[in-house]
Amino acid sequence: MTESSVSPRQATYLSARDAPGNSLADVLERVLDKGIVIVGDIQVRLLDIELLTIKIRLMVASVERAQQMGINWWETDPFVTSLDDGKKKELEAGGDDAR
């Protein structure tokens, strides 16, 4: 049962040099430490990697969308409207890692 119309005979190759889109999440999860880290005498808590990736992707999308449409992207971005309310509120609140 063939479900896809595309049958690649090769793998897709992406350079790790560019970190837009697909490899941004890969870069962030490799480079950023998780949880709480002591820097000097200060406790630093970094934003959760998954949430960070979502936010960045949304920021990129929002600028393009806003330019195209000239209206509040919250109302029209199909991705955002498909997020559950809890996560949407998190993003709208501007960012604590509520998890």
Partner 1 sequence: MLDDPYVVHAYGVVAGDSMVELPVAGVLGAAVVCIPCGTHSVIASTLPESRFGPRCWEEHGQDAEWLASVARQHHEVLQRVGESEDVIPLRLPSVFPDEHALGSATRSMRDQLTTAFEVVQGHLEWTVKVWRTPDARVPDQALRPATGADYLRRKTMEATARDRRSEQSREAALAVHENLAMVATHSVVNPLHGRDVTGRAESMVLNAAYLVGRSVRDDFFLVADEQAGCWGPEGFLVEVTGPWPAYSFTTIRLEQVRVS
Q: Which is nearer to partner 1, 8 or 70 (CB)?
A: 8
- Footprint of partner 1 on residues 32-91 (CB under 8 A)? 32-33, 35-47, 50, 52-57, 59, 79, 83, 87
Q: Which is nearer to partner 1, 92 or 95 (CB)?
A: 95
Tokens of 69: 């449409």
**Distance separating alpha carbons of residues 54 and 28, to the nearest angstrom:** 11
Cα angle 82, 26, 85; round to 5: 20
Smallest separation (angstroms) from partner 1 to the CB of 71: 21
Question: CA 78, CA 57: separation in Å to the nearest integer?
Answer: 13
Q: How many residues bind partner 1 (CB under 8 A)?
A: 56
What are the residues binding partner 1 (CB under 8 A)? 2-17, 19, 22-33, 35-47, 50, 52-57, 59, 79, 83, 87, 95-97
